[in-house]
Structure 1
Amino acid sequence: MLTAIVSTVVVLGVLIFVHELGHFLVAKWSGVTVLRFSLGFGPKLIGITRGGTEYRLSLIPLGGYVKMLGEGAEDEVSEEEVATSFSAQPVFKRICIVLAGPLSNFILAIFIFALIYAFSGIPQLTPEIGSVAANSPAKKAGILAGDKVLSINAKPIKTWDDLSSIIERSGENPLTLTIERDQKIMTFQVTPSVTEVKNLFGEPIKRPVMGVTASGKVAIEKVNPLYAGYYSLLQTWNLSKLFFLTVVKMVEGVISVKTLGGPILIAQMAGQQAQEGFINLINFMALISVNLAVLNLLPIPVLDGGHILFFTLEAIMGRPLSEKKIETAQKIGMIILLVLMLFVFYNDIMRLLPGHKPDFMP
C-alpha cells in the first residue's frame, strides 16, 4: 500500500511538474508575467515568492497550474502591465505557451525511453509459439507450442513482430519456416489462410494467419546507444497514435467507457511497476506521460487542446472569439471533464470490489 502511494506521488508529481514547467518556461521566454506556479489545486500548503512569481504546493495533488497575468478575461491589468500580460501577446506566442505543456510531456517520455534503451535495451516478444489453434495451417503443418521460429523464407526472425509482419505481407502464399525444437533445427511448409480476427480494439478484420499465438516470453535486445534516441522517438510516436485511436474508438462506441481508469488505477499500476523494479516504474511514467500529452491536446475547452483551438480560430478569423462563446464552450468542456471524472472514479472503485473482473486495457 505504502509503495503504491509513494510511487503514485512520484509519478504524478514528476509528470505534473514537467507539464507546468513547459508552460512556465515558454511564458517567461515570451516576456509574460507569471503570477503563480502551483503543484496541486486548492488551498496552499507551502509557498515562496521569487521574481514576482509565487511557487506553491497545494493540497489536492491531482494536477497543477501556471497562472499568468491577463490570462482570464476577468483579470485586472494596469496600463503598465499590459505589455507583459498573456492576452496581449500575439496569437502565435499564446499557442506556443499552451502547447509547451503537452510537448514537455512528450519530451520527458522520449528522454526516459532513450535512457532505458541506451542502458538496458529494448524489451521484445520472442518468436516462440505459445499455442497452436486446432485445424489451423500451423497445426496441419506439424508446428507445436514451444517451437521457436528462427527464420521465414530464409529471412531471420528475431521478434514476434517480425513474424507477424511477414505473415501479414505474405497473404496466402506458402511460407518456409525454420524452427528450433528441443535443440533440433526443423523446417516446415505453412500456407496461411485469410481469417476474420479481432484487432487491438476488438473490431473484426480479415488477415492471413497461421493460427499461432506468442508465448509471451520477453527478451532484451541490446541497441547501439546512438540509436536509442531514434527508437525512443518511434516508441513515443507509436504510443501517441495508439492512445489517440483509443480515444476515437471510445467516442465511436467500439471501446467501452469501462476501460477508463483514474488515479486509483494509476496508483495500483504504479505500485505494481515499482515492485518489479525502477526500470519498470520509469517506463510506466513514460507511458503515462505520453497519455497525458495526448489527452491534453484533445480539442476540449479548458484543456490545452481547447485553448489551442480557440487561438487557431482567432488566427484564421483575424479576431478573437467573443468572451460569451468562449465562456459557454468552457462550461461545456468542464461538464464533459466532470462526467469523465465520475466515470473513472466509478470504474476504479468497481475494480476494487471482490469478484470484479478487470476490463481495462493494460
Structure 2
Amino acid sequence: MNGVLGFLQTLLAFAGAFGTLVVLHELGHCVVARWCGVKVLRFSVGWGRVVWSWRSRPDGIEWALSSLPLGGYVRMLDARDQDVKHLSEDDLRHEFTRQNVWKRIAIIAAGPATNFLLAIVLLAGLYMHGVEEPSARIAEPAAATPARQAGLHRGDIIVAVGGEAVASWSEMRWQLIRAATDGEQQDVPLTVRRPGRGDYTFTLPAAALNDFDPDSDVAAAVGLALALPPPVLGRVDPAGPGGRAGLQPGDRIAAIDGVPVVDVGAFMAIVRAAPGKQLVLDVRRGAQALRLSIVPEASPAGAGGKGSVTVGKIRVELTGRPDMIVVSDGPFGALAKAVTKVWDTSVLTVRMIGRMLTGDVSWKNVTGPITIADYAGQTSRIGVASYLSFIAMVSISLGVMNLLPIPVLDGGHLLYYSLEVLTGRPVPERFGEIAQRLGVGLLVTLMALAVFNDVVRLM
C-alpha cells in the first residue's frame, strides 16, 4: 500500500511541477502576444480534446481545459498554420508573421523569460523565508584525498570557496561545482574556520577538480564529507541482531573492535561491511560502559530486497542530525541572491551541454522524465521548501533548453529572427521546413537517449 501511495505522490508531484511550468511558459507567450497586438485564438491548459472552454470578450480568446492535464499550449493567428485567405485586411494586421521582427522576438522570448522569472520569484521567496540546511562543517577527510593533503580536518567549517562566502553545505558544493566547470583550471582557495582558533586558508589544486564528473558528488571527489553526529541509537528492533545483542534506545556506540567510531557514517560503514561477522561494540549507556558482541545479518543491498551485493544490517535506527543553520536574507539580498543563482545555474547548464558536445562529459548525464519524476517525488516528501526549490531548478532548465538554437524550439525561432535582423529579410520558407524536420529528429533522438539513461539508472 505504501508503495502505491508513494508512486501516486511521485506522479502528482511530477505532473504538478512540470504541468505548471509548461502552462506558465505558454502564458508568457500569450500575454506578450496580446501586448504586441497579435490575435490569440486559444489558450489551453492540457492537451487533446477540449472538455471545457469559455470565450472572453471583447478579444475573443477561447480559454480551455483539455483532456490530457500535462502542460498546455497557446494558439495564435498564424498564416503558417492556418488558412487566412478569407480574413479581412483589418484582421490580418493581428496575424503573427505580419508583425515586425522585434515583436516576434519578444513573443517567442517571453516563454523562457517567464521560466527564469518564476525561478527568481520562488528562490527569492525561499531565501526571505529562510531555509534550514546543514552547515558546511566537514568530517575527517580520508587519507590521500586532496582535502586531507591540503590540511583540512574534522570539525573545520568552510566559510568561503574561491573567495565567495558560503553559509551552508549546499552553497559550498555549488561553489565547488562552479570552480570545477569554469574551464580556467585554477587552484581553489578554501577559507576554513576552526572554532576557537580563527580562520585559515587552504588550497585545493586545480588538478583535483579537472576530472569532475557531474554524475558524482564533487565534494566527495575531493574528500569533503558532511560532519555527522555520533552514533546514538533510536528505535531497536527486539527481533533483530541489535535487539538480541542487548542494544537499547539511547545507547551511544563509542568503538567497534577497539577502534573509536567518530560518527554515524563510520558506524554504518563498518556494520555494512561485516555481514555474518562478529563485531565487539563498546557502548555508553548513561554512566555505564558496556561491551557487547553482535553479528550483523546478511542482506541484499539492492532496493526491494534485490541485488547481488550483500551488506550487514543490525535493524536499529540512528538519531541526531548534522549541525543545521537557517539561511535567510532580507528582500533585496534575497532578490539579488536569487538572480545570481538563476544566472549561475543557466551558465553551468550551458557549459555542461558544451562539454557533452566536445566529449569532455558523458552523454549518460542527459536525464529524462523518469528521473525528473523521481526527484519530484523525493522533494515533495521532504517538504514544501525542497519541492519549491526543485520546481525553481526545473524551471531554469526548461528556460535554458528552450533557448537552444534547435528548430521547433523557441531558440530555433529566435535564431531565424536574428538572421532576419542581420540580413534584412526572413529565412527562406523551404530552409525553415527542412530545419524543422531536422529539429524534430534531433529532439526525438535526445528524448530517446534521456529515457534510455533513466531506465539504466533504475536497473
Q: Please tell me whether the aligned partners of residues 201 and 249 of structure 1 are also in contact (alpha carbons under 8 angstroms).
A: no
For structure 1, list consecutive stretches of 5 or more residues without a partner in the other structure.
Answer: 204-210, 357-362
Deviation at 1:252, TM superposition (A): 1.8
For residues 94-128 of structure 1, what are the alpha-carbon distances to aligned partners after superposition, in whole Å with 9 as ceiling and x for unaligned? 0000000000010000000111011124x666332
Q: Distance in 2 between matches of 1:151 and 1:307?
A: 42
1:152-301 equivalence runs, <5 A: 158=167, 179-180=194-195, 185-186=196-197, 192=203, 194=205, 196-199=207-210, 201-202=212-213, 212-215=223-226, 219-301=325-407
- Alignment coverage as a number of residue pairs: 336
Against the structure 1 CA distance between its residues 59 and 201, is the aligned structure 2 distance closer, same or farther, given a 3 Å change threshold?
Answer: farther
For residues 190-249 of structure 1, what are the alpha-carbon distances to aligned partners after superposition, in whole Å with 9 as ceiling and x for unaligned? 86474622358439xxxxxxx751417563223223321111111111111111112112
Against the structure 1 CA distance between its residues 336 and 138, is the aligned structure 2 distance closer, same or farther, given a 3 Å change threshold?
Answer: closer
Indicate the structure whose relative CO is greater, using CA pairs within 8 Å and at least 6 residues apart: 1
Q: Distance in 1 between matches of 2:423 and 2:199?
A: 65
1:1-362 equivalence runs, <5 A: 1-50=7-56, 51-70=59-78, 72=80, 75-77=83-85, 78-80=87-89, 81-121=91-131, 126-135=135-144, 139=148, 144-148=153-157, 158=167, 179-180=194-195, 185-186=196-197, 192=203, 194=205, 196-199=207-210, 201-202=212-213, 212-215=223-226, 219-352=325-458, 356=459
- AA matched with 2:207: E
Q: Distance in 1 between matches of 2:55 and 2:71?
A: 20
Q: Distance in 2 between matches of 1:187 and 1:230?
A: 29
Against the structure 1 CA distance between its residues 176 and 158, is the aligned structure 2 distance closer, same or farther, given a 3 Å change threshold?
Answer: closer
Q: Distance in 2 between matches of 1:95 and 1:25?
A: 14
Against the structure 1 CA distance between its residues 110 and 84, is the aligned structure 2 distance closer, same or farther, given a 3 Å change threshold?
Answer: same
Against the structure 1 CA distance between its residues 15 and 200, is the aligned structure 2 distance closer, same or farther, given a 3 Å change threshold?
Answer: farther
TM-score normalized with structure 1 length = 0.81
TM-score normalized with structure 2 length = 0.65
For residues 8-67 of structure 1, what are the alpha-carbon distances to aligned partners after superposition, in whole Å with 9 as ceiling and x for unaligned? 121112201210111000001111111121233333343333342222233445543211
Q: Distance in 2 between matches of 1:103 and 1:326?
A: 24
**Structure of larger gyration radius:** 2
Q: Distance in 2 between matches of 1:3 and 1:348?
A: 19
Deviation at 1:144, TM superposition (A): 3.2
Q: Distance in 2 between matches of 1:297 and 1:151?
A: 33
Q: Please tell me whether the aligned partners of residues 172 and 194 of structure 1 are also in contact (alpha carbons under 8 angstroms).
A: yes
Q: Distance in 2 between matches of 1:303 and 1:151?
A: 39
Q: Distance in 2 between matches of 1:311 and 1:151?
A: 43
Query: Larger deviation: 13-22 or 46-55?
Result: 46-55
Against the structure 1 CA distance between its residues 222 and 187, is the aligned structure 2 distance closer, same or farther, given a 3 Å change threshold?
Answer: closer
Q: Please tell me whether the aligned partners of residues 119 and 225 of structure 1 are also in contact (alpha carbons under 8 angstroms).
A: no
Query: Larger deviation: 25-34 or 141-150?
Result: 141-150
Against the structure 1 CA distance between its residues 279 and 264, is the aligned structure 2 distance closer, same or farther, given a 3 Å change threshold?
Answer: same
- AA matched with 1:236: V
Identity of aligned residues (%): 36
